[in-house]
A and B are shown apart, each in its own frame.
Chain A
Amino acid sequence: MRGAPWLVFLLLVLGPPARAGSPEEAPSPPPEEGEEPGDAAVPTPGAAPDHQTVIQASRPVSPDQTQDQVAVPGERLRESPRPTLLEALAQESASIHVTRRGVGPAGVASGAAGGLTVRGLGGSPNTQVLVVEDGVPDVQGIFGHPLPDAYVPDLIDQAVVVEGGDSVLYGSNAMGAAIVLRSRWLPEDGWEVRSDAAYGSFATLQGTVTALGRKDGWEGAFALHGMRTDGHRDGAGGSVLVIQSAGRLRLAPGWSLVLRNKAVHVTGGDPGTVQHPFTDHTFDVWRDNLSGALEYQRPGLRVTLLPYATLGRHRLHDGFQSLDWTLGGRGEVCWRPHRNWEVLGGVEAQDMDGEVRNRIQGTATDVRAMVDLAAWQQVLWRPVQGLSLVVGSRELYSLRWGFLWLGKAGVRWNFWRGWSVRTRVTRNYRQPTIRELYLPYPVANPDLRPETSLNWDATLGYEDFRHLEVSLTAYRSQARNLIRYFGSWPAAEVVNIDAYTVWGLEGRVRVRDLGPFGATVAGSWQRVGRYTRQNPEAMLDFAATLGHRWGSHRLEGEVSGEWVHGLYMANYRREPIPDPFFLDLAVRYRLEPPGKDWTLEPWLVLRNLMNRKYEYIRGYEMPGFHVLAGLKVGLGG
């Protein structure tokens, strides 16, 4: 542990290569006038080759260019020293706070980590932050939030965090933010297999195999990810298994059919506080997400039909068992009648339901299904070069709460040589979860009303698309009817609270491709009033990379860290937690022999380099200095 500083010195002497600066990871500029969104480079099977120039451009992950977003390439997420995808995303933006408790699974129920808070909204545990995976909102039917352990970056092409949320496009839960994930396919015919295996402290063993292929209009993607660990203390161990598969068939010119499935199995336990640890508060969660997509695309028009279903089973140590399911479907049309206009419209229906019983006591708890229907529209207008105006509306009808209107308006102006200014206001909402309404763990309230928020933000930014990216954002979130738990069992209550306002500032500076050097610094400060529970006042995320390439060899290293200030375990600034601060170091060596279709990449991650004692959840102390070493092998591609 005391040897950590010399490792930093060794890295600096060796002079590793800039990952952040590699050209393939540089974010592409937003599409401008006349650029056709979509997989423009995809040839039609059997079509005669023409000799036109083909411009390769991916469709933007999120279609609103006026929103404040952080886009992170999948490769960067895969190479992140952070143990989970959500933590890797939090490293990229200082407004994302993720609760953590160690190297094991984040878990579910009491003592779970992985709670997300963005711009003062979130927590409880993640119900105000929505994760959208390939167009499908990922919520557990009864609990209304995503499963933090279900996300692994193996097949992710890009992740976009829409800060400030967008319920017009994404519906319920996208209040504080929406995390939009897009899976990757091979860009051209061929195949690719990658394996990444690692072993480290606390008997942590993890492995991933991904395989992608593409031939004659058929495409396939498969990933198998497994992780098990003893954890850094009694009861903190667990395991995660994720099996993802997807297939895409190009049916006819312009038509494609996609089928995806993801199965997740998470086991572990709540280790309790260090003063009162548990060894038997276990959980066992199975989830399966199935979705399809039928898409028609031609210049100026894209039509998508996307049915989906999720099924989950939770078992806890005390006999609790829930079975939940979500069935839904959405249809979306994106029409570009003129090069300066883009119209987006869609309809969606969703049904969430489940059943709950106690296997030990033999009792069952009644729950009622939640069904809602929605239609949304978004219009993008580019009146002049560099200026984009967006307005949107969502009309939602819930069988339980009736009609609700949501809307948004935004503007972005790229006014001078990489300088831009943008602002947006959006009205978001979240409906109560089945758990909050009916499940007395610790308490339920069937009279709860949906939460709404009015979020505003404005950003001044500069980007030269080569070396420098700077942005400064001011934001204000005003929420009504927020659902909050108060008190403790057995006198706890869950109620709507009247009004809540948070405002703050965020800044981000990114330097890349500056010789071997790259760096990112992101900071935020916010005023959250009395609702201080897991709602920090200030955060700072930083990363510095050094890289060097010689011939077919590449060596790179990254030091990254996070500092959180003003963290409390309770509202009203009660139960303060000392400022968490840690440093991680990742070192990678990559061998790419010329003319060969294989690569070799040993890597080493040193976490909590300074062996600091810190915690995000009171009594759930984070591990000291620990290590993970792995080997990545790539074939084909």
Chain B
Amino acid sequence: MTNCPVCGGAVEISDDPVEGELLECPECGSELEILGLDPIALGEAPTAEEDWGE
């Protein structure tokens, strides 16, 4: 468990986190990215760009 950098709410982290992983804060809905693993560091995920997709 760590804190959302936007609202400070609690964000659950899986047992196998990966750098770059996208998460959503359950309290404020912000899209977050795991920036570091030891210790877990979260930041706001970048905004979608025009060529993002599948």
A binds B: no
